[in-house]
Amino acid sequence: MSYGRRYSGDPRWTTARFGECAKCKKPLAGKRALFIPNGKTCLCEECGRPEMATFEAAAFDEAVMTGTW
Ligand SMILES: [Zn+2]
């Protein structure tokens, strides 16, 4: 993970202080959560993991295609 901070809207793992998962409505306080600035949403670790995997795959493909990898 070293392609830098190209987008300020990149999702990132954080520890939530409040709120709930946007998908399953599980409370997130004190838990690891995926913060998605674009949608201003938080997902629990369970729901966030596949989202992050999708994002990383997309970022990788783009880097390969544009030759910046
Ligand atoms: Zn969830």
Domain boundaries, the chain: 12-66
Centre of ligand 1 to C-alpha 21, Å, is 5
CA 46–ligand 1 middle distance (angstroms): 6
Predicted pLDDT at 1: 47
Q: How far is the CA of 68 from the centre of ligand 1 (A)?
A: 33
Average of pLDDT values for 34-44?
92
* pLDDT attached to residue 32: 97
Please list, residue by residue across 25-58, b when 16 or more beta carbons sit within 10 angstroms of its beta carbon and e when fewer do. eeebeeeebbbbeeeebbbbeebbeeebeebeee
Residues with CB under 5 A from ligand 1 (ion): 21, 23-24, 26, 44, 47
